[in-house]
Amino acid sequence: MKRILLWISIAALAAFALLPLFWMVITALKKEGMGLSTQVLPTGGFSELYTFKNFTAILGDPDFPFFRFLLNSTVVAGSTALISTTICFMSAYAFARKTFPGKELVYGLLMASMMVPGMIFMVPQFALIAEFGWMNSWQALVIPHTANVFGIFLLRQSVERIPKSLFEAAEVDGASDWQTMRLVVVPLVSPVLLTLVLLTFLGQWSNFLWQLIVNTPDSNWITLPVGISLFKGQYSIAWEKMMAASVISVLPVLLLFLFLQRYIISGLTQGGVKE
């Protein structure tokens, strides 16, 4: 009986979580002007209520360069993930294995900054971007997000769990810090590194507010989240096309997560081997 109740609860939670995605797909398939209709089952046939023209329209619309937006999102999210993870890894190694004046103070301040809402940093970040002349540029979209305190914390915990004997053996063999990081640390924390890359990529793929702030309408660096919002006009919203674009934009990250979810779980639950 308990197992039945458990499965019913899991099924209910899954249905609740998947309902927005289901409704997004349904809206994307509806004919123009019927996006807000609550009707799901057509009375006369599929073509009475649904059509695939919304997908073909956004992919072939010269006023909506979907593939350019897709490329921009891929470049921004991918470069942010790689640069941020590299910085986090080197910082975590320094905090875990090196001794320098003020190390604990600096690390404590970094951890304390995680308690500050991210919105508070937007105004000074925007002021710096404008001062540097980086509006409508790759730098404005990527550089502010390469500092990831959570990533430093996650990787530091992983590096600290590596047996000291491995570092001592590498030191005896004459390995430099770069060689130790590459040959000893990276293989042991690779699940965590991959997890951090994926989480950062997903976060930047769906980042809307910051990408809207640092881009003007004529920018060449408009990404998918901002591009999709262009379907919202002054007097109306093209819900069907907006949802069709959203469905296509969700597919890459959904497939990425489905294929790599076991690495994400492994990275969040394992931080290396314990001595």
Q: Are residues 4 and 86 in the same domain?
A: no
Does some domain include residue 76?
yes
Q: Give 144-169 pLDDT, tens digit per residue.
A: 999 899 999 999 999 999 898 999 89
pLDDT score of 209: 92
Cβ atoms of 85 and 196 closer than 8 Å: yes
Q: Which of 94-103, 175-184, 227-236 has the lowest mean pLDDT?
A: 227-236
Residue-number span of the structural domain to which 25 is assigned? 1-50
Q: Give 236-268 pLDDT, tens digit per residue.
A: 788 888 999 999 999 888 888 888 777 777 666
Does some domain include residue 275?
no
Q: What is the pTM of this model?
A: 0.85
Q: Are residues 236 and 265 in the same domain?
A: yes
| Percentage of residues of the chain with pLDDT beyond 70 | 96
Q: Is the pLDDT of residue 272 over 60?
A: no
Q: Are residues 206 and 79 in the same domain?
A: yes
Q: Are residues 14 and 109 in the same domain?
A: no
Q: Are residues 127 and 25 in the same domain?
A: no
Does some domain include residue 57?
no
Does some domain include residue 12?
yes
Q: Which of 14-23, 173-182, 254-263 has the lowest mean pLDDT?
A: 254-263
Q: Which residues pair with 50 in a beta bridge?
A: 30
Q: Is the pLDDT of residue 8 over 50?
A: yes
CATH number at residue 224: 1.10.3720.10
pLDDT score of 234: 67
* DSSP sequence for the chain: -HHHHHHHHHHHHHHHHHHHHHHHHHHHHBPTT-TT----S-SS-HHHHB-SHHHHHHHH-TTS-HHHHHHHHHHHHHHHHHHHHHHHHHHHHHHHH---TTHHHHHHHHHHHTTS-THHHHHHHHHHHHHHT-TTSHHHHHGGGS--HHHHHHHHHHHHTS-HHHHHHHHHTT--HHHHIIIIIHHHHHHHHHHHHHHHHHHHHT--HHHHHT--TT-TT--HHHHHGGGB-SS-B-HHHHHHHHHHHHHHHHHHHHHHHHHHHHHHH--S---
Q: Closest Cα to residue 245, out of 18, 34, 65?
A: 65
CA 174 to chain centre: 39
Q: Is the pLDDT of residue 74 over 60?
A: yes
Does some domain include residue 58?
no
Residue 160 CA to residue 184 CA, distance in Å, equals 13
pLDDT score of 274: 46
Does some domain include residue 177?
yes
Specify the number of domains making up the chain: 2
